[in-house]
Amino acid sequence: MAMREGIRSAAEASCNGIVRRMVSLPRSLMGGFSRAMGHGRHLIGIGSGRRTQTLPSNFPMHYPEEPLILPEVSVSFLTSFEQQYGTMHPFFYACRFMETLKIAEDEHKFLFLYLHSPEHPFTPSFCRETLSSEAVVQFLDANFVSWGAIADRDEGLHMSATLRPACFPFCAVIAPVAGDNIAVMQQMEGPISPTELVGILQRTLEEQGLAFRSLKAKKAEKIIADRRLREEQDAAYLAAIQIDKQKERLKNVPPPVRPQKPAEAPNKANHERLQNHSAQKQHGKTREASIDPQDPQAARILIRFPNGERREQCFLCTDKLQAVYRYIDSLGVPGIGGNYRLVSIFPRKVICNPLRHLPVLSNCSHQIKSSRIRSFSVRSCRLDPNESHKLELVLEVKEKLEKDYQSLPVGKNGRDDEDMILWFLKDRKFSVEDAVERLNKAIKWRREFRVSELSQDSVKGIAETGKAYVHDFLDVNGRPVLIVDASKHLPAVHDPAENEKLCVFLIEKALSALPEGSEEILGIFDLRVFGRENADLDFITFLFDVFYYYYPKRLGQVLFVGAPFIFKPIWQLAKPLLKSYSSLVRFCSAETVRKEYFTEATVPAKFRD
């Protein structure tokens, strides 16, 4: 009793004068973090750790300078705790200390550390009455990131050597700081009631949480400032576009119409005049098709089509660009629809349909000598013809790729694929330099990964596992659907390279199924039967990196269906690695998939029941 009073007094003293001390972490503990994020990223499991020999209760505890950490993640604390005291306890992250500290930092929370000494006489009552208290569990889960370990094993031994507790049970409130240090904001040693523990933690948050809230506020202000800057840049960009459009409209305004004379009464003379006018129009069309190349007023136009076909035609220097378009339309060349553009070869200039009123040979002057040949290239256009500025950016990116990265392949998904260039320009907010950099990286990756060689036969073996496939129907939003059955993904059995090939092949297959007007696909991960043997942080990172760098803005949404409790710590580790794509993730049930994303006729079979 006297001992308990002494401990309570120490705790109260700590509350009145919050413990603040800096602790340097051992190098091996810091190294353990890097190894865990490297070799040990495949799995963060709960309830199954390697067996270690328990030290006898009368064995003196030593504090080595740098005890050795084995690369495996030990979760014997959770196993031991739940076997003895049940599953009602705070959510202890089943990963290494440094990983949990990083999670706490990302979530702007303090870390609650608990060192468990199974042989200590105060431990059973503390675990049953305090740590298993509903009030303590709810308070810790809402305000802290919790981590626990057995005091004489693995990382628990490290932390005991670092923090040097005088008595058990031992709890501490930790805050990350720069370098290899941590700040111990509060520590509690010995038995303590649920009310006392919550009170101490509450006061710690009130007195010390200001620093974290200030940091969070600064980050939020920076995000708002960055967003405001982007909005201002976008507004300026749109304003410039409107000005350009207004200038084009002013150019296209026809001259004022002269007052027409009163209509003459129909008579024989008027009838003859109309007939003569029609004959002149017909004669003009015939003359356009049969202009003498030797005519001083003739201009020779060489036209190259996307299919490689070339045509040469003569026009008069006074003809409008509309005459060239009319000639191209009359040819009926396959693959050329109504929305296309002409690109003058030299000087390179994009000429869209709205400019058809210009003279054929207009550039610096409206006329040229008959000996000069003008060359045009016909290009299909998915953009609105009014967006000629974007077409010019596409050509600018194309020229830079051709100049700086001549070794890159050409053709579909190559450096001259204008649809691909346009897509990356959109992703990079029409920054030419950024788009060139991303395209160079993406095209190189496609060549090195041999994406063009992937086929149903090349991935047949791994596809037969049924771990992933493209659904036969679109979702209600018209998106192709890529489904992953996590229970069939076995990283210890399947070759990672084959998994990656199947992943890319299915992405390509889903994109090829995009209907007209759709740009994104839906990803569904079925996690209902997910277990430790299915966890693969490396593959999750690869999947989202592929979308982020090589298929930007193609992933519309990701559904995590029926995620079990064991998946939570894995997601906490994976979330920071997924960059902005983590915001696309939605945790939901199979019922949500059925009701919100498919009709009765199109819902995948595995989600029908």
CA dihedral 232, 233, 237, 238 (to 10 degrees): -30
| Host domain of residue 155 | 75-220
Q: What is the mean pLDDT of residues 499-508?
A: 94
Question: Into how many domains does the chain fold?
Answer: 4
3-state secondary structure 30-80: HHHHHHHHHCCCCCCCCCCCCCCCCCCCCCCCCCCCCCCCCCCCCCHHHHH
d(CA 587, CA 181): 35
Beta bridge partners of 300: 314, 373
* 174 and 107 co-located in one domain: yes
Residue 27 lies in a domain: no
* 209 and 85 co-located in one domain: yes
Give this prediction's pTM.
0.45
In the numeric block, which tokens belong to residue 72?
């495996």
User: What integer pLDDT is reported at residue 51 of this predicted model?
Assistant: 28
Before 64, cis peptide (omega within 30)?
Answer: no
* 157 and 191 co-located in one domain: yes
Residue 274, φ and ψ in degrees, nearest 5? -65, -40
Residue 67 lies in a domain: no
**Alpha-carbon distances of 490 from 74, 313, 434, rounded to whole Å:** 21, 64, 38
Confidence of residue 379 (pLDDT cuts 50, 70, 90): low
* Amino acid type, 83: Q
* 488 and 601 co-located in one domain: yes
Q: Choose among 132, 201, 122: nearest CA to 169.
A: 122
d(CA 132, CA 421): 58
Residue 449: its H or E element: helix 432-449
* 593 and 515 co-located in one domain: yes
Tell me: the pLDDT tens digits for 127-141?
999 999 988 988 898
Domain boundary among 424, 451, 478: 451
Sign of CA dihedral 415, 419, 422, 427: negative
CB-CB contact of 186 with 202 (8 Å): no
Query: Where residue 331 sits, what CATH number does that domain have?
Result: 3.10.20.90
Q: Report helix angle 134-143 to 194-252, nearest 10.
A: 30
Q: What is the mean pLDDT of residues 308-313?
A: 76
In the numeric block, which tokens belong to residue 488?
């069939």
d(CA 147, CA 162): 16
Q: Which residues contact 286 (CB under 8 A, 6 or more apart)?
A: none
Domain boundary among 407, 428, 451: 451
Residue 99 lies in a domain: yes
* 207 and 111 co-located in one domain: yes
- CA Rg value for the chain: 35
Residue 116: its H or E element: strand 110-116
* Least confident residue range of 72-81, 199-208, 489-498: 72-81
Residue 243 lies in a domain: no
Of 295 and 383, the structure prediction assigns the larger pLDDT to 295
Q: Is the pLDDT of residue 220 over 50?
A: yes
Tell me: the pLDDT tens digits for 2-58?
444 444 434 444 433 344 566 666 555 555 433 333 333 333 333 333 223 333 334
In the numeric block, which tokens belong to residue 286?
């015939």
Domain boundary among 174, 200, 220: 220
* 375 and 411 co-located in one domain: no
Q: Is the pLDDT of residue 102 over 70?
A: yes
Beta bridge partners of 313: 301
> Rounded to an integer, what is the distance from CA 163 to the centroid of its chain?
40
Residue 323, φ and ψ in degrees, nearest 5? -65, -40
Residue 86 lies in a domain: yes
Extract long-range pairs of 190-194: CB within 8 Å, 24+ residues apart: 190/3, 190/4, 190/7, 190/10, 190/11, 190/122, 191/4, 191/7, 191/122, 191/125, 191/126, 191/130, 192/7, 192/8, 192/11, 192/126, 192/130, 193/129, 193/130, 194/129, 194/130, 194/133, 194/135, 194/136
User: What integer pLDDT is reported at residue 127 of this predicted model?
Assistant: 94
* 334 and 415 co-located in one domain: no
Query: Where residue 167 sits, what CATH number does that domain have?
Result: 3.40.30.10
* 339 and 302 co-located in one domain: yes
Query: Where residue 531 sits, what CATH number does that domain have?
Result: 3.40.525.10
Strand stretches in 456-538, DSSP E: 468-470, 481-485, 521-526
CB-CB contact of 324 with 300 (8 Å): no
* 84 and 205 co-located in one domain: yes
Q: What letters, b where the CB count within 10 A reaches 16 and e where it falls short, cover 487-507?
A: bebebeebeeeebbbbbbbbb
* 304 and 436 co-located in one domain: no
Q: Choose among 146, 121, 152: nearest CA to 197.
A: 146
* 412 and 374 co-located in one domain: no
Residue 274 lies in a domain: no
d(CA 476, CA 474): 7
CB-CB contact of 340 with 305 (8 Å): no
Per the prediction, the chain carries an average pLDDT of: 75
**Alpha-carbon distances of 83 from 87, 140, 173, 508, 535, rounded to whole Å:** 8, 21, 26, 48, 24
d(CA 503, CA 509): 10
Beta bridge partners of 92: 146
Q: Is the pLDDT of residue 285 over 50?
A: no
Residue 521 lies in a domain: yes
Residue 169 lies in a domain: yes
